[in-house]
Amino acid sequence: MASSEEDGGGNGSVEEKENGKKRSLGALATAWLIFYNVAMTAGWLVLGIAMVRFYIQKGTHRGLFRSVQKTLKFFQTFALLEVVHCAVGIVRTSVLVTGVQVSSRIFMVWFIAHSIKQIQNEESVILFLVVWTVTEITRYSFYTFNLLNHLPYFIKWARYNFFIILYPAGVAGELLTIYAALPYVKKTGMFSLRLPNKYNVSFDYYYFLIIVMFSYIPLFPQLYFHMLRQRRKVLHGEVIVEKDD
């Protein structure tokens, strides 16, 4: 998975550097991105406030996922547009990096937390929810202020430092949640297709989940090192020289 610098990408501000020159992002694209990022910041803020209020009022995490799930599903699914942004080139980040990040989140929301009610009260669900919320409030406000050319340093700092802890914590929450789902999936055979059937195809969701868990081993470091490279570039001004080949 190439880094965005290696792709020649990794830029979505009003003015983009291209081959050493500055390139203006169209007014329409900029306006859309500002709208998108403001909406996403607001959405994740609403989610964060709802979680804090729930915990203060009820004094427990039980029922928290259920109470915030509509907002979570809406805004996390809306993030599919990020892959579109990369694909159409208004945000020059790698489609692959963004695709892995967004699809793993969509998978967690719809095919794990939504589909398996029995695991919704696990502490690990709250762990990834809190981690995602802090990450996304920081990330979308970073993009918004960056597009407006008024980026406070502490937001930039938070964007490129919080992930050092939050990424492994989020991954731990996600993996523990999938792990907690395994016995239920095995017992019920959900989303599985057994032979014989008219399609002559068999699929076992239980083993699929185990493969997904193992796929974190090669994929997560790629995302983490991508962010470390972004951090070096943005906070320390390091230029990553493209290879000729």
Ligand X SMILES: CCCCCCCCCCCCC[C@@H](O)CC(=O)SCCNC(=O)CCNC(=O)[C@H](O)C(C)(C)COP(=O)(O)OP(=O)(O)OC[C@H]1O[C@@H](n2cnc3c(N)ncnc32)[C@H](O)[C@@H]1OP(=O)(O)O
Number of residues that bind ligand X (CB under 6 A): 39
Under DSSP, the state recorded for 238 is: -
109 contacts ligand X (rule: CB under 6 A):
no
d(CA 101, CA 97): 6
Task: Report the 10 Å Cβ neighbour count for 35.
Answer: 11
Cβ atoms of residues 25 and 14 within 8 Å: yes
| By the rule CB under 6 A, 30 interacts with ligand X | no
Q: Which of 167, 179, 216, 224 is catalytic?
A: 167
Contact status: 216 vs ligand X (CB under 6 A): yes
DSSP 108-150: IIIIIIIT-GGGTT-HHHHHHHHHHHHHHHHHHHHHHHHHTT-
- Residue 143 annotated among the catalytic residues of the structure: no
- Among candidate residues 160, 174, 205, 206, the one labeled active-site is 174
Nearer to ligand X, 120 or 133 (CB): 133
For residue 207, give Cα distances in angstroms to 97, 105, 200, 210: 25, 19, 18, 5
Binding of residue 116 to ligand X (CB under 6 A)? no
Residue 167 appears among annotated catalytic residues: yes
Residues lying near ligand X in the complex (CB under 6 A) = 4, 10-13, 33, 37, 82, 91, 93, 97-98, 100-101, 103-105, 107, 131-132, 135, 139, 143, 146-147, 163, 166-167, 170-171, 174, 212, 215-216, 219-220, 223, 226, 230
